Amino acid sequence: MGRMQTMDALGDPVRRRIVELLAAGTRPAGELARSVGDAYGISQPAASRHLRVLREAGIVDSEIDGQRRLYSLRREAMDDVATWVENVRAFWDQRLDALETEIARGNRARRDSRTTPGA
Amino acid sequence: MGRMQTMDALGDPVRRRIVELLAAGTRPAGELARSVGDAYGISQPAASRHLRVLREAGIVDSEIDGQRRLYSLRREAMDDVATWVENVRAFWDQRLDALETEIARGNRARRDSRTTPGA
DNA sequence: CAGATAATTCACCCTTGCGTTATATAACAA
DNA sequence: TTGTTATATAACGCAAGGGTGAATTATCTG
């Protein structure tokens, strides 16, 4: 079901926070590091490492801009997650539908057996 | 942004597989353990541990049925993930919209400065 | 060139997470 | 009761992940 190193990488609150920040637009690494640094009490190198993981998972892109790195969200990454969830949901709903028809069938059967001079 | 121990727990391929299996309907622990055991080469206790994590994250429910445990997917868990993704996407799209109007504004300004006897 | 700034990488520590085997608990079957 | 099946828990080892400070690379500034 899809390319899921995406969800592997998103199984970390710091990285999810970075994604949330990037949802608002492209940001330099330093700003991201400060944000999550403040929020989670981690150092700048730690944040940089998280950025690397996100990069390698194809969740973000980075672009050089002078002496800084601009990070941006890759839309497709979010699509991956959405697709996975939608598939799970679809299966689940289909199961529920099947259950309903099953129940309906059961009701019909029960009704019939009552109406029919069987018992 | 929401209750996200959900995504923490889903940052593991075995657990995602279990969720996928449960999407098709309620299943006893043993069957799940066999499935992911075969697929990932892990033991029954290992699978049981994964089920525990999913349970504690509120992703699955378990119900006793004689000597077995029936596991089922909690729909709301999938909603959590979907909501998170949708929020990120919404922010992102909104940013794109803003960018577009910005570009439009820029074009207008450029056009005007050409038309206007300014330079 | 000599700083200063931005970011990454390195070397290392330490905790957490996942795996294993062995054991416990509980329900069913004989 | 004894045995078997289903599942969970315990105890423990090991690898991975995430954190840190120090060092490296690269760009900008005076």
CB distance B18 to B46 below 8 Å: no
The domain that holds A9 is classified in CATH as 1.10.10.10
Domain assignment present for B114? no
Report yes or no: A88 at the B interface, CB cutoff 8 Å. Answer: yes
**Is residue B31 predicted with pLDDT exceeding 90?**
yes
How much is the pLDDT for B40?
Answer: 98
Inside any domain, residue B10: yes
Return chain B residues 61..100 having CB < 7 Å to nucleic acid strand D.
62, 67-69
Q: What is the pLDDT of residue A18?
A: 98
Q: Regarding beta strands A27-28 and A68-73, do their DSSP bridges make them parallel or antiparallel, or are they unpaired?
A: antiparallel
| A9 neighbors A3 (Cβ within 8 angstroms) | no
Q: Are A51 and A73 in contact (CB under 8 A)?
A: no
pTM over the 0.75 mark: yes
Query: For B45 and C20, how far is CA from C1' in angstroms?
Result: 9
Please check whether strand D approaches the CB of B58 to within 7 Å: no
**Across residues B58-68, what is the average pLDDT?**
97
Tell me, yes or no, whether A112 lies in a domain. Answer: no
Number of domains composing chain A? 1
Of the partner residues A1, A12, A19, the one whose CB lies closest to the CB of residue B20? A1
**What strand order describes the sheet that includes A68-73?**
A27-28, A68-73, A60-65
Average pLDDT value for chain B: 87
Residue A117, pLDDT above cutoff 50: no
Instruction: Report chain A residues whose CB lies below 8 A from the CB of B24.
Output: 91, 95
DSSP-assigned beta bridge partners for residue B18:
none
The answer as to whether B83 is a domain residue is no
Which range marks the domain in which residue A36 is found?
Answer: 3-74
